[in-house]
DNA sequence: TTGTTATTTTACCATTTCGTTACTTAACCA
DNA sequence: TGGTTAAGTAACGAAATGGTAAAATAACAA
């Protein structure tokens, strides 16, 4: 149903759908059967089953088994990873540009450790000019 | 290039690709041209251009203009929204089950305000049993 | 056994996504 | 003017996504 290999991509792509986020929101208040989850949605059961599989592959939910019910429940660990990734950018939406510059100096001082995902890299000698210097 | 309508879905789906996350990571240390961004990737320029369009549509980057260069720079606001959404689940990966129960009681006490995205709903009378009571 | 309820599986379809190659623009430079 | 560099567009293809209807399982209930 998908071929992604890295966990973070899997998590984010599972979250990139309002139906699936609604399912997680519902499961935040306790486990639920597929039928319960499907009721408020305007789509068929098989569609919901598919969304559940996506969530299950992303390890955002797990399933129990009660006779003919297969209740779903929330598993939040992958959300922690997503939160950790996003958090690294907090400074960019929160701090002043001066603080940002200071932060970038720190990054450059440490040189690159993490190869590509977040943080900063070694080889990029202090870029930062003045942002939208041309248009837009 | 995509037809999503809600901001959060757009943000998450933009983040659901390692190439695009690498681009954001690179831009965290300062603006860069398409050529610079494409250099470390194993893909052609048009492919990178497409990724940039996805990021631009998600408002995660903006473009400047310097003669024949169209530098990209990071815009972190959408990441804040994503972080806020994910944060609502922090308690699920952090707190004990007892605290969770207390939290859920609070949610039920408030009754439902936010219709579907996060938090809890009104109509779900205190579900929570004991999770994987059957198999798995 | 037969029936009912809950859920999944099996095609099937339309659309999107992610990559490519080839061509076109745009801005500079001599 | 012609040439080079930076970036975008067009056209294409393979694969994934998100939905459907119809059939198949699974577990219980009478």
What span, in angstroms and rounded, lies between the C-alpha atoms of B55 and B25? 13
Angle between helices B77-87 and A77-87 (to 10 degrees): 150
Whose CA is closest to B127, among A76, A64, A42?
A: A64
What span, in angstroms and rounded, lies between the C-alpha atoms of B121 and B114? 8
Radius of gyration, alpha carbons of chain B: 21
Q: State which protein residues have CB closer than 7 Å to strand D.
A: A 1-4, 13, 16-17, 19, 42-44, 46-47, 50-51, 54, 67-68; B 33-36, 45-46, 49, 52-53, 63, 68-71
Q: Which residue has the tokens 């579900």?
A: B127
The helix or strand, by DSSP H or E, that contains position B13, with its residue range, turns out to be helix B7-15
> What's residue A134's pLDDT?
31
> What's residue B5's pLDDT?
79
3-state secondary structure of A101: helix
What span, in angstroms and rounded, lies between the C-alpha atoms of B7 and B10? 5
Residues of B in contact with A128 (CB under 8 A): 29-31
> What's residue B107's pLDDT?
75
Q: Which nucleotides of D are covered by protein (CB under 7 A)?
A: 5-11, 15-22, 26-28
CB B58 within 8 A of CB B78: yes
> What's residue A112's pLDDT?
52
The reply to whether residue B64 touches residue A135, judged by beta carbons under 8 angstroms, is: yes
Residues of chain B with confidence (pLDDT) below 50: 114-116, 118-136
Please write the tens of the pLDDT for every residue from A17-68. 999 999 999 999 999 999 999 999 999 999 999 999 999 999 999 999 999 9
Whose CA is closest to A92, among B39, B82, B95?
A: B82
Q: What is the mean pLDDT of residues A82-111?
A: 81
Please write the tens of the pLDDT for every residue from B52-80. 999 999 999 999 999 999 999 999 999 99
A-B interface: how many C-beta pairs under 8 angstroms? 195
**Nearest CA distance, B23 vs chain A (angstrom):** 9
**Nearest CA distance, B106 vs chain A (angstrom):** 11
Q: Which residue has the tokens 């999770």?
A: B131
Residue A81 burial (C-beta neighbours within 10 Å; 0-12, 13-18, 19+) = middle
The helix or strand, by DSSP H or E, that contains position A60, with its residue range, turns out to be none
Tokens of A82: 């997503």
Percent over 90 (pLDDT), chain A: 63
| Main-chain phi, psi angles of A32, to 5 degrees | -150, 150
The reply to whether residue A127 touches residue B9, judged by beta carbons under 8 angstroms, is: no
Q: What is the mean pLDDT of residues A91-113?
A: 73
């Amino acid at each position: 149903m998908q071929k992604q290999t890295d966990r973070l991509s899997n998590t984010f792509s599972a979250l990139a759908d309002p139906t699936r986020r609604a399912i997680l929101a519902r499961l935040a208040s306790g486990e639920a059967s597929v039928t319960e989850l499907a009721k408020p949605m305007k789509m068929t059961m098989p569609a919901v089953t598919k969304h559940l599989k996506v969530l299950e592959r992303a390890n955002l939910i797990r399933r129990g088994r009660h006779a003919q019910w297969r209740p779903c429940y929330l598993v939040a660990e992958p959300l922690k990873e997503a939160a950790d990734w996003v958090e690294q950018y907090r400074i960019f939406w929160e701090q002043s540009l001066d603080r940002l510059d200071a932060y970038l100096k720190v990054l450059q001082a440490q040189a690159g450790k993490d190869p590509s995902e977040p943080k900063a890299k070694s080889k990029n000698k202090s870029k930062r000019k003045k942002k939208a210097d041309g248009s837009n």
